[in-house]
Amino acid sequence: ELYLGDNEFTGEIPEEISGLTKLTHLSLSYNQLTGTIPPGLGNLPLKELGLDNNELCGTIPVELTKLKPVAQIKLQDNKFTGEIPIGFKNRVDVSENCFYDTGADYPSNYTIHNSFKRPPGTIKSARK
């Protein structure tokens, strides 16, 4: 277990964390972390992943959908863009991010409170 939340850490999440193969709980919430999520986190046996309330950006790695369904994943209050990986279903709170409505059919039970932005030329709403 590694709980490093609320410490005012800055910088990117080190790729080396993905090498902690017995890590079951990782909380880096309430810091000022930037950059993207290392895709290798999806290969860990995490039961809890807290990356909420940072300045993380880019897309959410599809590799995170490999985390066991019992895993609690918190990604809200960051600056993610792009599409939400379909494999998340209603497992992840991604509120307060900036995702693009690209026409993908997301399940109607997503808990999303984002301000979806449409790229120029997009007229279809994917939300049901």
99 and 119 Cβ atoms separated by less than 8 Å: no
Greater pLDDT, 43 or 69: 43
Write down the mean pLDDT value for the chain: 77
In terms of Cβ atoms closer than 10 Å to its own Cβ (0-12, 13-18, 19+), residue 128 is exposed
Mean pLDDT of 25-36: 96
Greater pLDDT, 115 or 12: 12
pLDDT score of 119 more than 60? no
pLDDT score of 33 more than 80? yes
Task: Give the tens place of pLDDT for each residue, 55-64.
Answer: 999 999 999 9
Task: Give the tens place of pLDDT for each residue, 71-111.
Answer: 788 888 898 887 778 777 666 666 656 655 444 444 444 44
Task: Give the tens place of pLDDT for each residue, 9-28.
Answer: 999 999 999 999 999 999 99
In terms of Cβ atoms closer than 10 Å to its own Cβ (0-12, 13-18, 19+), residue 8 is exposed
